[in-house]
A and B are shown apart, each in its own frame.
With several copies, the nearest count.
Chain A
Amino acid sequence: MTEAITLAIDSQFDHVFLVGLSVHAVCAGLGLGDEAAGAVELSVVEAVNNCVEHAYREEPGHRVEIHLAAAFGALRVAVRDRGRCLDWAAACARADAYAADAAAEGGRGVFIMRSLMDGVDYVSTDGLNELILIKRLPSAATEAPRPAAS
C-alpha cells in the first residue's frame, strides 16, 4: 500500500515553515513518533533551505517540490529543484569536517540529514536535482505514535 503526497513552495525562506509543519503532521499520521517526525521535519527543512539558498541563490520565483511516499515500510522524501546542482560526494566529505568545527556558523545541513535519516542520496538528471531522504517506518506492531524517547 502506497500513500503519497507532494508539497510545493516558491523558492523563499518565508514559506519553508509550512513545509516543516506539513511534513511533521504527515510523519505522525504515518505512525512515526514525535521525535522521529521532528527528525524528518528538520532534515527536510535543511534540504529545502539548501534549494532556496544554494540551488536558487535566494532568488524567488522558482519551485521547490517535496514528494513524500510511504511504501515497503519506509518513508521516502524527494526534495526537487531545477537550480544549480551539487557535488554530493564533495558535500558529504565537507560535512564531517564542518560538523567537527564548533565555531562554524553554517555547513551543518548535510551532516544533520545524514545523521538523522536512515538513508540520504542525491541525483541530478537533465537539470532536475533530487535529494532523497529515507526513514524507516515503525512496523505495524508498533504503529501507534510513541512518546518521544529524548
Chain B
Amino acid sequence: MELAQRIEGSVLVAKACDHRVDARQAADFKLQLLALVAADHPLIALDLSDVDFIDSSGLGAIVAAHKQLGTRGNLVIVGAKPAVANLFRLTRMDKVFRMYPAEAEALAALMH
C-alpha cells in the first residue's frame, strides 16, 4: 500500500495510491496510518480518490487511526468514490468521519 504524503499548512494530506484497499493491504495500511498519528500529525486528510473498492478490513484500518488520534486531532476523508462512500454510509462511518468531495474543502474545514 503506497500512501503518498504531503503537508498543506497545518494539514497532512495522505493519498492512498492503490485501487483496492482490502484485507491484503489492511495491516500495512493501518501501520502507516498509525505512524502518521504517532509522528504528531493531528490534522489528517485521507485522500481516497483513487480507491475503487474498500472492504471492512480497510475501513477498520481507518477506524484504528481515528481511535489513536482520539480528541487530539481530526482525520477526514477526501474524494470517496460512490462504492467507498456507500460503505461509509452503510456502516454509519459517515457520521464519524467528515467526508469532502475535494481536498480544498477538506483543508478549508480542517484549518477553520
**Interface positions of B from 38 to 64, Cβ below 8 Å from A:** 53, 55-57, 59-61, 63-64
Instruction: Indicate if the CB atoms of B91 and A105 lie closer than 8 Å.
Output: no
Chain A residues with a Cβ under 8 A of chain B: 13-14, 16-17, 20, 34-35, 38-39, 41-42, 45-46, 49, 52-53, 99, 102-106, 108-109, 111-112, 115-116, 148, 150
On whether A103 and B24 interact (CB within 8 A), knowing A35-B82, A46-B56, A112-B56, the answer reads: no
A-B CB contact pairs (8 Å), 17 listed:
A13-B23, A14-B24, A16-B23, A17-B22, A17-B24, A20-B20, A35-B86, A38-B53, A42-B53, A45-B23, A46-B56, A49-B23, A49-B55, A104-B60, A105-B61, A105-B63, A112-B90
In the bound complex, residues from chain A placing their C-beta under 8 Å from that of B55 are 42, 45-46, 49
A112 proximity list for chain B (CB < 8 A): 56, 87, 90-91
Output the nearest chain B residue to A24 by Cβ-Cβ distance: B53
Task: Tell me if B6 is interfacial: C-beta within 8 Å of chain A.
Answer: no
- Please provide the 3 A-B residue pairs with the shortest distance between their CB atoms, ordered closest to farther: A150-B82, A105-B60, A108-B56
Q: Which of B7-15, B71-79, B92-100, B102-110 contacts A (4 or more CB under 8 A)?
A: B92-100
How many angstroms from the CA of A118 to the CA of B53 in the assembled complex? 21
Q: Interface residues, chain B, CB within 8 Å of chain A? A: 20, 22-24, 53, 55-57, 59-61, 63-64, 67, 82-83, 85-87, 90-93, 95-96
Closest approach, in angstroms, between the C-beta of B28 and any C-beta of chain A?
A: 11
B23 CB contact (under 8 Å) in A35, A52, A111: A52
Contacts of A42 in B (CB 8 A): 53, 55, 83, 87
In the bound complex, do residue B91 and residue A108 qualify as a contact, i.e. CB atoms below 8 Å apart?
yes
Known: A38-B83, A103-B67, A108-B56. A45 touches B22 (CB 8 A): yes
A105-B60, A105-B64 known; A148+B82 contact, CB < 8 A: yes
User: Nearest A residue to B63 by beta-carbon distance?
Assistant: A105
Instruction: Please name the residue on chain A nearest to B92 by beta carbon.
Output: A102
What A residues does B53 contact at CB under 8 A?
Answer: 17, 20, 38, 41-42, 45
What residues on B are CB-neighbors of A49 within 8 Å?
22-23, 55-57
- Chain B nearest Cβ from A149, distance in angstroms: 9
